[in-house]
Homo-oligomer: A and B are copies of this chain.
Amino acid sequence: MNILLVEDEPKVADFIRKGLQEQLHPVELAYDGLFGEKLALENEYDLVILDVILPGISGLELCRRIRRFKPDLPILLLTALGSTKDKVAGLESGADDYLVKPFHFDELLARVKALGRRRLLTSPGVQYRIADLEVDGYKKTVRRAGKEIILTAKEFSLLELLIVNKNRVLSRTHIAETVWGINYDRGTNLIDVYINYLRSKIDKGFTPTLIHTVIGMGYVLKEE
């Protein structure tokens, strides 16, 4: 899930960004409201996390502006203030959810997941299986025919995307945006390379093969 984080305190920003990246979400960061607005409007994020206290324009104002042009984009507000009045103000600005700092990171993750599910319908982070391949998004493990397979973070992220959308052809563009982030735009065959890595780890030596190329369109994970 592509996430835009607007937070001016470097330490907090870093903490949140790293935590989300450890869950394999691509994260982009804006240090002030104006830049945040620019990014939010120019790109297609799945979620925006906004600090209320920002230099430039306030989080609430930014929230309203984003909401005006992107009514469906989920917005999560962060703030140090915890009064009911603040919460109401936040929600009235169009935020979908509200989290008071300091928070336990798991709490943030839970809300991120909840907001993400609203538009994706599928939520990575649970268990998936196809044929004799099992992917556990919680433990971050992969097994084929009962045997554990070790993947790197990027490989896992790619496989998770494929298995969540099994039987559906995924374009390279879509894969790039989901796994590598919004602003991925290199003229290389990086995705092909990673598909190749995955194949050698989860398909080589097993039947049936699960990763299929659809020429001109992209890749699918399916049986047969």
Choose one: B18, B109, B173; the contact of A24 (CB below 8 Å).
B109
Contact A104 B140 (CB under 8 A): no
Contact A140 B217 (CB under 8 A): yes
Contacts of A11 in B (CB 8 A): 184-185, 187
Q: Among the listed stretches A53-61, A164-172, A199-207, which one makes contact with chain B, having 4 or more residues with CB under 8 Å of it?
A: A164-172
The answer to the question of A214 belonging to the interface, with a C-beta cut-off of 8 Å to chain B, is yes
Contact A22 B177 (CB under 8 A): no
A residues 1-53 near B (Cβ < 8 Å) are 11-12, 14-15, 18-19, 21-24, 26
Contact A114 B187 (CB under 8 A): no
Complex CA–CA separation, A24 to B124 (angstroms): 12
Contacts of A177 in B (CB 8 A): 104-106
Contacts of A125 in B (CB 8 A): 21
What's the number of copies of this chain in the assembled complex? 2
Complex CA–CA separation, A109 to B114 (angstroms): 15
Contact B169 A139 (CB under 8 A): yes
Q: How far is the CB of A124 from chain B (nearest CB, A)?
A: 12
Complex: chain B residue closest to A26, CB-CB? B138
Complex CA–CA separation, A174 to B109 (angstroms): 11
If the complex has contacts A138-B26, A215-B153, are A19 and B171 also in contact, measured as CB distance less than 8 A? yes
Contacts of A14 in B (CB 8 A): 184, 186-187
If the complex has contacts A23-B171, A140-B169, A171-B23, are A182 and B217 also in contact, measured as CB distance less than 8 A? no
The answer to the question of A126 belonging to the interface, with a C-beta cut-off of 8 Å to chain B, is yes
A residues sitting closer than 8 Å to B (CB atoms) are: 11-12, 14-15, 18-19, 21-24, 26, 102-106, 109-110, 113-114, 125-126, 138-141, 148, 152-154, 156, 167-169, 171-174, 177, 182, 184-187, 214-218, 224
Given contact pairs A15-B186, A106-B177, A154-B216, enumerate 5 new A-B contacts (beta carbons under 8 Å): A22-B173, A24-B110, A105-B173, A148-B224, A156-B217
